[in-house]
């Protein structure tokens, strides 16, 4: 089954939560999510290895805008100005801590 979110909300100052179509909810520390950014600037497209230096990500980084990309995933604009990462729902579902 494809992972489809029914609700995405800020569960706390640094916590993003996604409720999925099957009723499961996953949570994310927003800074971890920023560090896990899958875009070509942050991650080597060939090896999947991280290029981004986590030390350069501000401790208080926050998502400032969320927009869905079709049924595929979520585009997040961050408070550090970064906005090229598209997080696929499949990946988010895998990456999240189930509650």
List residues binding Zn ion (CB under 5 A): 37, 39, 41-42, 85
26 φψ region: left (φ > 0), alpha (ψ -120 to 50), beta (else): beta
Of the pair 20, 28, the CB lying nearest Zn ion is at: 28
Neighbours of 37 (CB within 10 A): 22
User: Rounded CA gap, 17 and 6, in Å?
Assistant: 11
Shortest Å, Cβ 96 to Zn ion: 18
Q: Select 20 or 87, whichever has its Cβ closest to Zn ion.
A: 87
CB of 24 to Zn ion, least distance (A): 26
Closest contact distance (angstroms) between CB of 39 and Zn ion is 3
Torsion region of 29: left, alpha or beta (phi above 0 gives left; psi -120 to 50 gives alpha): beta
> Is 42 or 57 the residue whose CB approaches Zn ion more closely?
42
């Amino acid at each position: 089954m494809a992972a489809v979110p029914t609700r995405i909300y800020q569960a706390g100052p640094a916590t993003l939560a996604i409720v999925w179509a099957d009723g499961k909810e996953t949570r994310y520390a927003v800074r971890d999510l920023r560090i896990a950014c899958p875009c070509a600037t942050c991650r080597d497209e060939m090896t999947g290895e991280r290029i981004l230096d986590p030390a350069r990500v501000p401790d208080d980084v926050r998502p400032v805008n969320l927009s869905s990309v079709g049924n595929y995933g979520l585009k997040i604009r961050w408070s550090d100005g970064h906005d090229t990462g598209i997080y696929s729902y499949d990946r988010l579902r895998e990456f999240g801590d189930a509650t």
